[in-house]
């Protein structure tokens, strides 16, 4: 569900009302009352998560002068993990955009002005122009039928020379544009389009609500290069495009990279230890071959197996946040690390122990698509109780993972590879095996806990009949 914009108000005075004096009912006394009538409202940068301190404007869905209806999406904001559509509380007109696309604003600072009627648009634009030196002030919030929302005090917006938005005329209209006025694309797609010299107005988006994502730009660039360029011996492929990197340059973190950096530094305060285990995967591989045609993914199988093992070892699914106590989590929510454009995110499979493998696989595919389009809602990536990180598809045989803050353990999964092993009858045989390494919070989980958990996990994977129940 889209988030609502925090909106403050400027006011004008209004009319006089006559009411009776309760003490002298026979002599009505005129009493002046102010009816508050909103004219111009500030649209503030909303807090899209509990850890968000600033947000980046990905794109304005509406343009200056557009009429807005309550609940209508106005702007796309990039938080630390996702791009989210933000709605307006009120009807009115988008009078002035104060932070352009690509701009960053602190939570609670003004990013635009909303005028109640067309008559106030010009006044709002004058206020926005003067805000570069002094921010627009607002008095107490207007009373509405909407549940009251306490917004943080507005801070001065990022200085900018002008508030008028530059609108580029589009040569064609497609789902990712608003009447051909503004193209809606992910930040990475815009960056990629600039590097590959792709006109975004010619790209048809396949992301949520027609938003253009990186793969759309890559596909168009690949098709455009099907005819070899001058001096080239063969057409370019649709694989990852070459990016010109200026060696020695200093590149600031993106919003997501900043969030990852803070989490990794925070994880250093937790005393952790690691335990590894080798698991034979022949039976799991055989099961996967049988049911993958039904849409089952290996990630879902591993998540399901892990969840079933955690049912028997709840301490491994626990978490310690304050250093003085720990919580036996009531749900088993498996977070699985996914690499996306410019960062890393961990979509969460809720109640993975209770959901059947086919539903779990469908949910996983949906989460991955939303993650890569940066459309995950906070509850879809912040509620994990145990984390999986799988690099096996890249041929990595073993690695250690860093424990995410607020969780008890994370398991790193390596590739399944043929190995010579000794059989029970003294012979040598060939079996597929994978190495898993678990990093755990030693304040809560001990070596014996992990050893028992890994033994249970190995039994489930080596005899996976329960995974399809």
Residue 123 has a pLDDT of 80
Tell me how far CA of residue 237 lies from CA of 199, 242, 457, in angstroms. Answer: 19, 11, 41
**Choice among 6, 313, 379, 442 that is catalytic:** 442
Instruction: Mention every residue, 6+ apart, whose C-beta is less than 8 A from residue 153.
Output: 108
β pairing state of 409-413 and 428-441: antiparallel
| Alpha carbons 24 and 461: distance in angstroms, whole number | 86
Query: What is the Cα–Cα distance from 463 to 283, expressed in whole angstroms?
Result: 6
CATH of the domain spanning 41-130: 2.40.50.100
Q: Is the pTM of this model over 0.85?
A: no
Residues in the chain: 469
pLDDT of residue 260: 83
Q: What is the pLDDT of residue 377?
A: 86
pLDDT of 87: 80
State how far the Cα of 296 lies from the Cα of 464, in Å rounded to an integer: 14
| Low pLDDT (below 70) residues in the chain | 1-38, 49-51, 80-81, 131-183, 187-188, 191, 207-209, 223-244
Percent of the chain as helix, strand, coil, to the nearest 5: 25, 25, 50
Are the C-beta atoms of residues 226 and 180 closer than 8 Å to each other? no
Q: What angle do CA 228, 192, 365 make, to 5 degrees?
A: 105
What pLDDT is recorded for position 180?
Answer: 43
**Domain coordinates in residue numbering, the chain:** 41-130, 264-462
Establish whether domains 41-130 and 264-462 are of one fold: no
Note the pLDDT of residue 155: 45
CA neighbor of 283 nearest in space, from 416, 380, 182: 416
Does CATH place domain 264-462 in 3.40.50.2300? no
pLDDT digits (tens, 9 = 90+) for 132-156: 544 433 333 333 333 333 334 444 4
Which H or E run includes 367? Answer: helix 357-372
Is residue 174 annotated as part of the catalytic site, yes or no?
A: no
pLDDT of residue 301: 96
Distance CA 224, CA 232 (A): 14
CB burial class (10 A; 0-12, 13-18, 19+) of residue 443? middle
pLDDT in tens, 375-417: 888 889 989 999 999 999 899 999 999 999 889 999 999 999 9
Residues 6+ apart with CB under 8 A from 166: none
How far apart, in Å, are the Cα atoms of 423 and each of 162, 341, 429? 75, 45, 6
How far is it, in rounded angstroms, from Cα 124 to Cα 147? 26
The 3-class secondary structure across 370-393, one letter per residue, is HHHCCCCCHHHCCCCCEEEEECHH
Alpha helix stretches (DSSP H) within 228-267: 255-267
């Amino acid at each position: 569900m889209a988030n609502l914009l925090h909106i403050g108000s400027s006011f004008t005075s209004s009319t006089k009302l006559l009411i009776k004096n309760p003490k002298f009912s026979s002599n009505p006394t005129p009493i002046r009352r102010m009816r508050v009538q909103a004219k111009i409202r500030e649209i503030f940068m909303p807090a899209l998560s509990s850890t968000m301190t600033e947000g980046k404007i990905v794109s304005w869905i509406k343009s200056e002068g557009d009429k807005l209806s309550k609940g209508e999406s106005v702007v796309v904001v990039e938080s630390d993990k996702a791009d989210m559509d933000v709605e307006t509380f009120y009807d009115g007109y988008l009078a002035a955009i104060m932070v352009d696309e690509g701009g960053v604003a602190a939570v609670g600072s003004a990013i635009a002005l909303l005028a109640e009627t067309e008559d106030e648009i010009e006044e709002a634009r004058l206020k926005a122009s003067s805000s570069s030196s002094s921010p627009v002030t607002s008095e107490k919030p207007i009373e509405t039928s909407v549940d009251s929302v306490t917004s943080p005090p507005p801070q001065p917006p990022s200085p900018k020379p002008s508030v008028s938005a530059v609108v580029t005329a589009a040569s064609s209209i497609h789902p990712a544009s608003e009447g051909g006025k503004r193209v809606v694309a992910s930040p990475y797609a815009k960056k990629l389009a600039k590097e590959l010299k792709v006109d975004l107005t010619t790209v048809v988006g396949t992301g949520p609500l027609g938003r253009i994502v990186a793969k759309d730009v890559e596909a168009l660039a690949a098709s455009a290069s099907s005819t070899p360029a001058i001096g080239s011996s063969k057409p370019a492929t649709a694989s990852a495009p070459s990016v010109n990197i200026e060696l020695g340059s200093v590149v600031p973190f993106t919003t997501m990279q900043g969030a990852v950096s803070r989490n990794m530094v925070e994880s250093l305060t937790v005393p952790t230890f690691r335990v590894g285990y080798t698991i034979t995967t022949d039976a799991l591989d055989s099961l996967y071959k049988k049911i993958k045609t039904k849409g089952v993914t290996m990630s879902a199988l591993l998540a399901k197996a892990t969840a079933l093992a955690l049912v028997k070892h709840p301490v491994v699914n626990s978490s310690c946040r304050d250093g003085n106590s720990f919580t036996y989590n009531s749900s088993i929510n498996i977070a699985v690390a996914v690499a996306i454009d410019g960062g890393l995110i961990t979509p969460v499979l809720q109640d993975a122990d209770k959901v059947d493998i086919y539903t779990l696989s469908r949910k996983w595919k949906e989460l991955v698509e939303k993650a890569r389009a940066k459309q995950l809602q906070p509850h879809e990536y912040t509620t994990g109780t145990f984390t999986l990180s799988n690099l096996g598809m890249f041929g990595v045989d073993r690695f250690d993972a860093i424990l995410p803050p607020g969780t008890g353990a994370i398991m790193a999964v390596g590739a399944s590879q043929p190995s010579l092993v000794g059989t029970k009858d003294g012979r040598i045989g060939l079996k597929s095996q994978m190495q898993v390494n678990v990093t755990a919070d030693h304040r809560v989980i001990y070596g014996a806990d992990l050893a028992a958990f890994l033994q249970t996990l190995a039994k489930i994977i080596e005899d996976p009949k329960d995974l399809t129940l």
